[in-house]
Amino acid sequence: MHDDAAAIINRIQQLKREHRAIILAHNYEPPEIQDLADITGDSLGLSVQAAATDAGVIVFCGVSFMAESAAILAPEKRVILPRQECGCGLADTATAAQVREARRRHPDAVVITYVNSSAAVKAESDICCTSGNAVNVIKRVPADREILFVPDRNLGAWVQQQTGRRLILWNGCCPVHDAIRADDVRAARARHPEAAVIVHPECRPEVTALADAVCSTGGMLAAVDRLPPREFIIGTEEGMLHPLRRAAPDRIFHPLKMNGMICADMKKISLVDVLRALEKQEPVVSVDQDTAVRARSALERMLDVPRN
């Protein structure tokens, strides 16, 4: 570690104590941000921690929809997103107005919204889900009800396959996961014939069909413990390789593609950004009261459903 980085980290730790702050980081964040964080995890795990922590300040190293969810679930806390421009291409595929219009076309449907969505879209939903509990959320819906699944068509397709339920799928996707093709899986297996393939359910159906396991990022950590091979091919944003290697140093992890599996928004936050956010106690993430109340109901219903 460079002396400058060490000095920044020391100052961050000091400010954390002064402000009674906690740092949360998603598994896709840069390694130095994950190492700095008090808690790393996937969307579901971080949502639970945001709601449960007794810290007065949450510094959320992730993207905007995650920080919004933390602010909704912990309204008494100050939630800071070190870089306001950290967005999500998947979340941008659905707006509140579009969901309201879809409800008009399907008035009897249960609207289930992936947590990778804006607060305004969550507020138009009956319940949210994560990739880690989407199957169980679907299983709780009565068999005679239509389901509108927003906004990830690939996650929705995987849930359909797992549950046998027909869903009305929104036409959205994660650009990173959707860019993975079946030929990429076959090429990765050719490079590493002894490795098991684990992919995220945001991948296309032809990709999940070729995998040995389909898991959320949190589920990938558990899958490595469960599966026998010593080598793994990982089909998700490359930041996930860091927590996997840290948790299982005796295993070997390969990215499914040699390039292109980077979410630029997840890589924007630096140590300097975290320091500045703690020093200035901003930018603060806030959600208007009406939106927050309605979105909180959908999020709290999500938190009541266990992982798949």
* DSSP-assigned beta bridge partners for residue 57: 21, 78
Q: What is the distance of C-alpha 288 from the center of its chain?
A: 23
Q: Dump the DSSP string for 152-212.
A: BHHHHHHHHHHH----EE-SB--HHHHT--HHHHHHHHHH-TTPEEEE-TTS-HHHHTT-S
Domains and CATH numbers, the chain: 3-88+266-286 (3.40.50.10800), 91-173+295-303 (3.40.50.10800), 180-260 (3.40.50.10800)
Q: pLDDT per residue over 192-207, tens digit each?
A: 999 999 999 999 999 9
In terms of Cα–Cα distance, which of 250, 302, 305 is closest to 73? 302
Q: pLDDT per residue over 205-245, tens digit each?
A: 999 999 999 999 989 999 999 999 999 999 999 999 999 99
CA atoms in the 13 A half-sphere facing the CB of 80: 24
Buried b (16+ CB within 10 A) or exposed e, 163-197: bebebebbebbbebbbebeeebbeebbeebeebbb
Q: pLDDT per residue over 3-62, tens digit each?
A: 699 999 999 999 999 999 999 999 999 999 999 999 999 877 787 888 888 999 999 999
Pick from 40-44, 128-132, 178-182, 260-264: least confident = 40-44
